[in-house]
Amino acid sequence: MRLLGALLLVIALTTGAPPAAADPRWEFYTDDTTRYGSPWFHGRHRIMIPFGCTRAPYYSPDPRCRRNRGFHHGIDLAMKCGTPLTAGRRGWVVGTQGLGPAYGSKVLRIRNFTHDWDVVIGHARRVLVEPGDRVLAGQRIARAGANAAPDGCHLHFEKRAIRGGLSTAGRPRPLLDLRARR
């Protein structure tokens, strides 16, 4: 009996706390395993698909990319469903007409005239603000989801020109302000 007790203790110690629940649908198309923080979301999360040409199979072949690869117009960060998203900078919430169904039905577009950008946030589970609202830095604006995304809950963060279409999407990373520490 003493042996059984010791065995149970060993099992309890080695299994430990359950690992953080990963979404089984996540597929990572980058070697970067760093968990980043950002003023745009709570917690620290891994990049799933970077901006630009990618071997991720979800995008049509793009003339800018070699080997028939597609072009990802934003940056995707894998995060648990429901993770709070916050406004990293102040701005105005504007309408989402013309974005198309690929971003999901809960999509958010924020405009900052001073710094000359629109931000598009896709695949949210919930959007907490409405067109016409002013948002302040740090304000909760949405919750991450997998709305219209085949690859699990994540944040799709895209930077565009003011009122710009998809072709104006540019490198989102400086605005996303990813921080590897703290």
Binding site for Zn ion (CB under 5 A): 74, 76, 156
Cβ 69 to Zn ion shortest distance, Å: 15
Cβ 58 to Zn ion shortest distance, Å: 8
Distance CA 165, CA 155 (A): 19
Distance CA 7, CA 77 (A): 40
Taking alpha carbons only, the member of 104, 113, 43, 110 closest to residue 79 is 43
Cβ 114 to Zn ion shortest distance, Å: 26
Report the residue number, 61 or 134, with the smaller CB distance to Zn ion.
Answer: 61
Q: Residue with CB nearest Zn ion?
A: 156
Report the residue number, 25 or 134, with the smaller CB distance to Zn ion.
Answer: 25
3-state secondary structure of 117: strand
Report the residue number, 70 or 74, with the smaller CB distance to Zn ion.
Answer: 74
Cβ 130 to Zn ion shortest distance, Å: 23
Distance CA 119, CA 89 (A): 10
Report the residue number, 91 or 151, with the smaller CB distance to Zn ion.
Answer: 151
Cβ 116 to Zn ion shortest distance, Å: 22
Give me the DSSP letters along 11-52.
HHHHH-SPPP---TT----SS---EEEETTEEEEEEEEE-SE
Task: Record the tokens describing residue 8, joined without a space.
Answer: 């149970």
Contact 71, 52 (CB under 8 A): yes
Report the residue number, 55 or 134, with the smaller CB distance to Zn ion.
Answer: 55
Cβ 11 to Zn ion shortest distance, Å: 41
3-state secondary structure of 141: strand
Report the residue number, 46 or 156, with the smaller CB distance to Zn ion.
Answer: 156
Distance CA 150, CA 175 (A): 26
